[in-house]
Amino acid sequence: MARSLVRWEPMRDLVSLREAMDRLFEESFVQPWGRWFGAAEEGFLPVDVYETKDAVVVEASVPGVKPEDVDVSITGDTLTIKGETKSEKKVERENYIRQERRYGSFCRAVTLPEGLDRDKAEANFENGVLTITFPKSEEVKPKSIKVKVKK
């Protein structure tokens, strides 16, 4: 059975703790009723970030948005996705019984791990899903070291 060593990075856990505390503070004091009335989701872009053997992948659902209306940028270790959802039709009267589809701008910033080749990043848009792939640099890809037994 092959085993690999994983480098312990204590700062990664601290960043997660900081983000959790920021989220807790915002949900509790800045927008205490936002979760129940939908304000917390307005302008928020949900993303999935996962790691493969050779890359880190960020997927964002942006249904109803044209690819040319999405702006993707990287500054340092932060990936920023911005865009705008536009209404297809102009409704003259404002007496909706229910309106759950959101229109307006959205923005999401995601901190990326170290060791990615940002210059070779690729962004694809298919069926309302934006997929951004960041290949890992050779230095951070896992390498297997065979253990030899001395006789």
pLDDT score at 58: 95
Structure tokens at 49: 């970030």
Same domain for 83 and 52: yes
Encode pLDDT of 28-58 as tens digits. Answer: 655 444 444 343 444 678 899 999 988 999 9
Encode pLDDT of 64-116 as tens digits. Answer: 788 888 999 998 889 999 988 776 666 666 676 776 666 778 888 999 988 88
pLDDT score at 125: 93
Encode pLDDT of 10-32 as tens digits. Answer: 666 666 677 777 777 666 655 44
Query: What is the domain count for the chain?
Result: 2
pLDDT score at 1: 56
The reply to whether 1 falls in a domain is no
pLDDT score at 36: 41
pLDDT score at 135: 93
Same domain for 105 and 65: yes
The reply to whether 28 falls in a domain is yes
Query: At 103, phi and psi to the nearest 5?
Result: -125, 145
pLDDT score at 47: 92
pLDDT score at 28: 60
For the domain that residue 47 is a member of, what is the CATH number? Answer: 2.60.40.790
> Cα dist. 127→22, 57, 67, 96, 124 in Å?
33, 17, 10, 29, 10
pLDDT score at 100: 65
Same domain for 78 and 26: no
pLDDT score at 4: 65
Q: How far is the C-alpha of 67 from the C-alpha of 56, rounded, in Å?
A: 21
The reply to whether 145 falls in a domain is no
